[in-house]
Chain A
Amino acid sequence: MTALIDLPAEEPALQAPKSKKKTGGSLGKYLAIRFVLIFPTIFILVTMVFFLMRLTGDPITAALGGRLPADQLAIRIHEAGYDRPLFIQYFEYLGQIATGNFGRTISDNLLISDMLATYGSATLELAINSLVVALLIGIPLGMLAAYKRDKWQDAIARVLAIAFYATPVFFAGLILKLIFSIWLGWFPVAGRGTTSTEIFMAQLESPSGIYWLDALRSGNMNAFWDVVQHSILPATALGLLTAGIFLRLVRTNMIGTLSRDYVEAGRSRGVSEFRLITKHAYKPALIPIITVMGLQIALLLGGAVLTETTFEWKGLGFQLAQYLTARDFVAVQGIVVLLAVIVAVTNFIVDVIAALIDPRVRY
């Protein structure tokens, strides 16, 4: 939730060479270097999480301690190799990650990779849904607020943005549930679908795991309708939080860009205010906006943990909380590593998009 602090904006043309002559390979070089930078991020997070989790002891004792007799516990610890020096385990773990073998969960004995695939798609669905909500609300309102700066539209948009931000997802979820599920009865309280939909989904061959997509592909409109109904409240709860951030981000950057000389220059040639915002200021403002939006993936994932718990949406976040409570640290590590990869890759993609928009990097 690192959203409200404006870090000094880095120049969008990150490390692009400033030479005036056309350097053909500069974009390719930039992308290559940016790609390599993905790995330190993942590595550091994996390392941090590994050692933090092991501060509490070995995973077997953590998960099953007290439930198994001491001698059986010792046998299982030995079998899993947790009695060896920590550093050896650490390097072994790094090796496993590199080959994609994460082992099995302790509490329910699933293959970690299967677990990630199953629940990851649920989280992906939630993230997509709420991102749609956030973009649809945040960007137009942000542009409106910048355009109508200091007018009542701006005031309302800004107060909304702060209110969205100030409301924790789980409280927003609780209120939404109270109003729309309990009192009005419009939407279901929790879950991703009714039992019949879940059964239908389980029977599909090679599902994407994103329910509305699967329902659409199979043509089952009842299931699709059911899935949409289940999606609306979680997507709104998480989407509004993110929308508040996006709104503010768009507004600040648009106002900054609108004060630039080239906007004044466009104005001096008779270009209309509307066109100045939608054409002249839009693209330059978009570059920092996209970059910062990339960082909000962290916010979205953090929010997803809370949203999933609130709405019993069985995704990575929901499972993460479960595994943490069960002290199943092998599973927790698997999830955290996946999330680290998602964060790093998303930021990479976002930087690539920003670079492609910016002609100073392209040429």
Chain B
Amino acid sequence: MESKKSLFSRLPVISQLKKSMGLQRGMLVTGIVLTLIFLLTAALAPLIAPFGPTQRFDETQAAPSSVHLWGTTAGGYDVLSRTIWGAQTAVFVIVIAVALSIFIGVILGLLSGYLGGWLDRILVVVADAIYAFPTLLLAMVMSIALTQGSSDMWAGIFAAAISITVVFIPQYFRVIRAETIRLKAEPFVESAIVVGASTVRIMARHIFKNATRTLPLIFTLNASEAILTLAGLGFLGFGIEPSSAAEWGYDLNHAQSDATAGIWWTGVFPGAAIVMTVLGLTLLGESMNDLNDPRLRGRKKTKKNAAKKQEELVEA
């Protein structure tokens, strides 16, 4: 019973929900709800979208109507359907990009931090250089190198995901490396050295789990960054072709000229979808971060304190 309960309450989001209060709880709950909506939309896209992602209609730039609830674009796409299917594309890209970059970043970070030496120095300089450079530009260059022209849905998703991966690896690398270096000096790692544990055993048993403690948090925050980068790529025309899959950034690109003509529905809906998704993921990640950091965690007031305030008000 005891262990069951603690296992459940030790799950990242659940335990944090319990710890939270007031504004932080509000932010966390909003984040969870928005993220769930995003994930459900992506999963249920085939059921809830009225049309297919690449289905074209003759009415172009049609205002919202009963057939096309959110109107149609200049290319004759149904905005509502494109927006819903876009969630699916975003989930694919996030999952691939973040999973790949975590995998590579964690391994490199562990090795570099624990072994040190020339490997560490080179990796740090390279990671720092990439880290300091605008992620979007790098992703653009990567994406050109990868696609070399138009691509179908999965090739496009992978190209976008890999472009984002390259940009994210240095972040995971830096976080994990810093943690590893900190842990290396911890007495519990030293005590493993002292009892004669091998390097592999120390890394696997003592450092890995402790160093990756903050990964769910970074994952969440990076997922929101991945969406922004994907949309940025799409906006500049380096993402996924509109004829192969729905992608919010690309739709917004085309909506820019519509906006000048006062046609708002082609841009506002995919844009709002990006904002809501990023908002949800960021709120989730931020609140998790705050609740993990005792300095930033919201402070409860004693009931009495609150009562005292009341009392003072009455007296005044």
**A and B are partners in one complex rather than unrelated chains:** yes
Q: Is the CB of A1 within 8 A of B229?
A: yes
Q: Which of A84-92, A252-260, A263-271 makes up part of the contact surface? A: A252-260
Question: Could you say which residues of chain A place their CB within 8 Å of the CB of B296?
Answer: 252, 255
On whether the beta carbons of B255 and A174 are closer than 8 Å, the reply is: yes
Task: Say which residue of B132, B225, B259 sits within 8 Å of A4 (CB atoms).
Answer: B225
CB of A240 to closest CB in B, whole Å: 12
CB atoms of A320 and B282 under 8 A apart: no
Main secondary structure of the interface of A (DSSP, over half): helix
CB contacts (< 8 Å) of A150 on chain B: these are 22-23, 298-299
Is A298's CB within 8 Å of the partner chain B?
Answer: yes
A52: which of B145, B235, B285 is its contact (CB, 8 Å)?
B145
Q: Digit string of B178-193 for contact with A (CB within 8 Å is 1, else 0)?
A: 1100100000000000
* Minimum C-beta distance from A184 to chain B (A): 12
Q: Are the C-beta atoms of B232 and A302 separated by less than 8 Å?
A: yes
Q: Are A174 and B125 touching (Cβ within 8 A)?
A: no
* A-B CB contacts (within 8 Å), total count: 183
CA distance A1 to B229 in the complex (A): 8
Residue in A closest to B218 when the chains form the complex, CB atoms = A5
A residues 37-71 touching B (CB-CB < 8 Å) = 40-41, 44-45, 48-49, 52-53, 55-56
Are B259 and A298 closer than 8 Å at their CB atoms? no
Name the one of B137, B144, B252, B279 contacting A301, with C-beta atoms under 8 angstroms.
B137
What distance in Å separates the Cβ of B118 from its nearest Cβ neighbour in chain A?
A: 14
Give the chain B neighbours of A8 by CB distance below 8 A.
175, 178-179, 182
Within 8 A of A (CB), among B122-145: 125-126, 128-137, 140-142, 144-145
B87 → chain A closest CB, angstroms: 15
Complex interface: stretch among A18-26, A105-113, A195-203, A340-348: A340-348
Give the docked Cα–Cα distance between A170 and B267 (Å): 10
Chain B interface residue number, banded: 35 or more
Contacts of B276 in A (CB 8 A): 166
Docked complex Cα distance between A309 and B255 (Å): 13
Interface centre among A7, A170, A320 (most CB of B within 10 A): A170
Docked pose: A332 CA to B264 CA in angstroms: 33
Check A162 against B129 for contact (C-beta < 8 Å). Answer: no
- Whether A174 contacts B144 by the Cβ 8 Å rule is no
Question: In the complex, A91→B283 CA distance in Å?
Answer: 47
A159-179 interface code vs B (CB 8 A; 1 in, 0 out): 100110111101101110110
Report whether B264 and A336 are in contact in the complex, using a CB–CB cutoff of 8 Å.
no
What band does the interface of chain A fall in when counting residues whose beta carbon is under 8 Å from B?
Answer: 35 or more
Determine if B275 is an interface residue (Cβ-Cβ < 8 Å): yes
Chain A proximity of B165: nearest CB distance (Å): 14
Q: Are B238 and A324 in contact (CB under 8 A)?
A: yes
Residue of chain A at shortest CB distance from B131: A2
Residues in chain B near residue A155, CB distance under 8 A? 23
- Contact flags (1/0) for B249-270 with A, using CB distance below 8 Å? 1001101100110101001100
A320 surroundings in chain B (CB, below 8 A): 137, 140
Decide if A343 touches B299 in the complex (CB within 8 Å).
no
Taking a contact as CB atoms closer than 8 A, the residue among B135, B148, B171, B268 that contacts A298 in the complex is B135
**What are 19 A-to-B residue pairs whose CB atoms are below 8 Å?**
A2-B171, A7-B178, A41-B132, A150-B22, A162-B282, A163-B279, A166-B274, A166-B279, A167-B271, A174-B271, A182-B262, A252-B296, A295-B132, A302-B136, A305-B236, A306-B136, A309-B235, A325-B237, A336-B137
Chain B interface (Cβ < 8 Å from any Cβ of A): 22-23, 27, 125-126, 128-137, 140-142, 144-145, 148, 171, 174-175, 178-179, 182, 218, 221-222, 224-225, 228-229, 231-232, 235-238, 249, 252-253, 255-256, 259-260, 262, 264, 267-268, 271, 274-276, 278-279, 282-283, 285-286, 289, 295-296, 298-299
List the 7 shortest-distance A-B pairs measured between CB atoms, nearest first.
A302-B134, A171-B271, A166-B278, A302-B136, A44-B129, A166-B279, A41-B129
